[in-house]
A = this chain, B = another copy of it.
Amino acid sequence: MLELRLVQGSLLKKVLESIRELVTDANFDCSATGFSLQAMDSSHVALVALLLRSEGFEHYRCDRNLSMGMNLNNVSKMLRCAGNDDIITVKADDGSDTVTFMFESPNQDKIADFEMKLMDIDSEHLGIPDAEYQAIVRMPSSEFARICKDLSSIGDTVIISVTKEGVKFSTAGDIGTANIVCRQNKTVDKPEEATIIEMQEPVSLTFALRYLNSFTKATPLSETVAISLSSDLPVVVEYKIAEMGYIRFYLAPKIEEDDDMKP
């Protein structure tokens, strides 16, 4: 039997909104450790990995490992029916082919339960090795989202270049070119407004803005984002979920020769 009770239910709503643009169907994996998901986007270019650790739930019971296949748009439709202050409980009986989402209003006057049929989804769980990155940029998540959105009005790809002084985002398109430089800045009033560069060596990589823009749907989950870059690895765009875990997006850099082949 599975029963996960999350007082801050709005968090689960935000998690769904973060990934449903990228992923259509996915397996949610429940174990004693936590509630997790790993899925490729429909074009098999980007990967998303979610972890919500069991300690973050008010109540967490998972008798045996369970993989629940769901259509994320349908889950999102149901979760959007939860109030922002609602407590959300996810329930599934062993062997059952349904999952139930229960929403309780803070004063307990309104209780809703939504039941959804589970799906069989083929998925291979990729092992993602821990890696050393040439550069890690930590910056306000809203700033990163704004930059990706702004550059998308000019071009399709972005070159992210990191030096000790800062990080530069560049693009070019029919109407012109754009460069946005964010300087390292550790001495701000609020730590979540800092831009911090951890760099082993300078790195400069090209990515499709379309995917980065999808990743930034996770902005409401965290005030900061960490972007880990290495020439020979996919970029990791990580949003920490306070006291619970994270959502991480992986995207392979574009290689020059790819430009003509991938739209």
Q: Are B183 and A150 in contact (CB under 8 A)?
A: no
A153 to B195, CA, bound (A): 41
Q: Are B183 and A110 in contact (CB under 8 A)?
A: yes
The answer, yes or no, to whether A115 is at the interface (CB within 8 Å) is yes
The answer, yes or no, to whether A179 is at the interface (CB within 8 Å) is yes
Shortest CB-to-CB span from A258 to chain B, Å, is: 25
With a CB–CB cut-off of 8 A, which chain B residues contact A114? 154, 176-178
Taking a contact as CB atoms closer than 8 A, the residue among B150, B177, B182 that contacts A115 in the complex is: B177
The answer, yes or no, to whether A81 is at the interface (CB within 8 Å) is yes
Q: Are A176 and B78 in contact (CB under 8 A)?
A: yes
A81 to B113, CA, bound (A): 43
Tell me how many residues of A have a C-beta within 8 Å of chain B: 34
Q: Mark A82-116, 1 if CB is under 8 A from B, else 0.
A: 00000000000000001000000001111111111
Q: Mark A129-151, 1 if CB is under 8 A from B, else 0.
A: 00000000000000100000011
Q: Are A78 and B154 in contact (CB under 8 A)?
A: yes
Q: Are A80 and B153 in contact (CB under 8 A)?
A: yes
The answer, yes or no, to whether A185 is at the interface (CB within 8 Å) is yes
A18 to B180, CA, bound (A): 26
A195 to B80, CA, bound (A): 23
With a CB–CB cut-off of 8 A, which chain B residues contact A109? 182-183, 185, 195
Shortest CB-to-CB span from A227 to chain B, Å, is: 15
The answer, yes or no, to whether A164 is at the interface (CB within 8 Å) is no
Whose C-beta in chain B lies nearest to the C-beta of A180?
B112
With a CB–CB cut-off of 8 A, which chain B residues contact A143? 110
The answer, yes or no, to whether A117 is at the interface (CB within 8 Å) is yes
Q: Are A181 and B111 in contact (CB under 8 A)?
A: yes
Q: Are B78 and A110 in contact (CB under 8 A)?
A: no
With a CB–CB cut-off of 8 A, which chain B residues contact A115? 176-178
The answer, yes or no, to whether A77 is at the interface (CB within 8 Å) is yes
The answer, yes or no, to whether A74 is at the interface (CB within 8 Å) is yes
Whose C-beta in chain B lies nearest to the C-beta of A113?
B179
Additional A-B contact list (19), CB under 8 Å, known A109-B195, A110-B182: A71-B175, A77-B154, A80-B150, A81-B151, A108-B183, A109-B182, A109-B183, A110-B180, A110-B181, A111-B181, A111-B183, A112-B150, A112-B179, A114-B176, A114-B177, A115-B176, A115-B178, A117-B175, A117-B176
